[in-house]
Amino acid sequence: MKIMVVGGGGREHAIIKSLKKSPKVSKIYALPGNGGIAADAECVDIGAKDIDKIVEFAVGNGIEFAVVAPDDPLVLGAVDALNEKGISCFGPKANAAIIEGSKVFSKNLMKKYNIPTAEYEVFNDMDAALKYLETAPIPTVIKADGLALGKGVIIAETREDAIDAVKSMMEDKIFGDSGNNIVIEEFLTGPEVSVLSFTDGNVVVPLVSSMDHKRALDGDKGLNTGGMGTIAPNPYYTKEIADECMEKIFVPTMEAMNKEGRTFKGCLYFGLMLTPKGPKVIEYNCRFGDPETQVVLPLLESDLFEIMQHVEAGTLKDAEVKFSKSAACCVVVASNGYPGKYETGFEIMLPENSDGIFVAGAKIKDGKLVTSGGRVLGVTEVGACLNCAINAAYKTVESVKFDNAFYRKDIGQKALAALK
Ligand code: AMP
Ligand code: GLY
């Protein structure tokens, strides 16, 4: 089958490498892909948000199946538009992608259906929000309603910081219209777990759990980033907790979306916090996580493309979704300075075997692979134990070379400590 993958980051590279293994897939296009993805798929210079051009390309090139990976095109209705032209897709329609597209929607959904999450208030008026902050418990968490490149969450440690955060979103509009409505919520504590799942609206099948490392620097210091590394499985996520999440969070969320007339088909991502009062939802994403996908898919032993077809057809219960018992670690190698200012254009040297290298921010220039983004690539290795995977990943990282490369040295250490 001729298929296309919409998106152009490390996550999409991992999805494409996994899809390539399916005997059913004969040709993969990536829209837009990137300089590293070009080794595994034919890249087409169409942006992931350019829905009209995506549809035109799919129709014009006989695409039989589309995987829409990033949040923006999903929220903008890429799947709806492709379906209208008769093209099967993996990914939710816009009316279900809203579970990520609007925090107000997802918080109200959880409240209505008793799904455990942080206590919260919604505001569309800045004065009311500021008044509420006068007595709100501190620390507090301020979230812009809409998509904000993963940066729309501010944890305020003091009342002054909270006031500044509200003003920056509602008055200065640092996230544009995404800040027209905001959520102010209870600050929760506990280990975080990412659980990606496949769902077709009939059943929900969790994938192996993972742990992201969001801060830029070792010891969880520095600014929040798109993710500096991941490990899987997450040792905090025991069988008991998994069962509890299935019963109280995963199935209720799927059923809630069905009841709202917004059946979710695709990858539903649960960002969880294991609080002293039990697991609670921090956020939903309507897609595979980045860089969680870079550790989860290398552990998948089943045919990803077949699973995606089952999700689309509503027959997920018949799909084989099997994971290896191994562990995986992904270390993100970034441009020094990220998530702030950084330089690009440096040539990248990769080791001979680059199976586990997922390229995010690189392009081909004069026939060479050069850096073009903040997060340049992720290096994943699989090992028999978590420590083995971590050591292997860092060993491979040493053979990746480009000027101004930067990476955290402690990916997986928190997980190792939890195992002890
Ligand atoms: P998000 O962009 O929604 O993934 O949030 C970014 C990060 O903020 C999460 O991974 C958590 O570490 C943190 N966070 C979000 N909501 C809360 C909360 N209610 N309490 C504590 N930390 C939170
Ligand atoms: N790694 C978190 C996300 O994909 O949103």
The yes-or-no verdict on residue 149 having pLDDT over 80 is no
Beta partners for 368? Answer: 365
> What pLDDT is attached to residue 211?
98
Q: CA 284, CA 292: separation in Å to the nearest integer?
A: 14
> Residue 323: is its pLDDT beyond 80?
yes
Ligand nearest to the CA of 178: 1
Output the residue whose Cα is nearest ligand 1's atom 11. Answer: 282
Mutating to test ligand 2, I would choose from 74, 147, 231, 269 the residue with most ligand atoms within 8 A of its C-beta, which is 269
For residue 150, pLDDT over 80 is answered with no
Q: Give yes or no for a contact between 414 and 192, defined as CB atoms under 8 angstroms apart.
A: no
Pocket probe mutation, ligand 2, options 106, 149, 194, 231, max atoms within 8 Å of Cβ: 194
Query: How confident is residue 137, by pLDDT bands cut at 50, 70 and 90?
Result: very high
Query: What confidence score (pLDDT) does residue 127 get?
Result: 94
Q: Which atom of ligand 1 is nearest to the CA of 282?
A: 16
Residues 6+ apart with CB under 8 A from 47: 31, 32, 53
Q: 């995506």: which residue's tokens?
A: 54
Q: Which of 327, 334, 318 is nearest to 378 (CA)?
A: 334
What is the overall mean pLDDT for the chain? 96
CA distances (Å), origin 83, targets 59, 138, 203: 11, 46, 22
Q: Which of 292, 287, 295, 297 is nearest to 266 (CA)?
A: 287
pLDDT digits (tens, 9 = 90+) for 245-298: 999 999 999 999 999 999 999 999 999 999 999 999 999 999 999 999 999 999
Q: Which pLDDT value is given to residue 420?
A: 85
- Cβ atoms of 282 and 192 within 8 Å: the answer is yes
Closest ligand to residue 273's CA: 1
β-strands 65-68, 2-7 pairing:
parallel
- Predicted model pTM: 0.96
What percent of the chain is predicted at pLDDT more than 90? Answer: 95
Measure the CA–CA gap between 50 and 42, rounded to whole angstroms: 18
Tens of pLDDT, residue by residue over 23-59, are 999 999 999 999 999 999 999 999 999 999 999 999 9
Which pLDDT value is given to residue 83? 98
Residues 224-253: tens digit of each pLDDT: 898 999 999 999 999 999 999 999 999 999
> How far is ligand 2, taken at its centre, from the CA of residue 287, in Å?
9
Ligand nearest the Cα atom of residue 286:
2
Mean pLDDT of 162-173: 93
Mention every residue, 6+ apart, whose C-beta is less than 8 A from residue 150.
224, 226
Question: What contacts 59, CB < 8 A, 6 or more positions away?
Answer: 85, 87
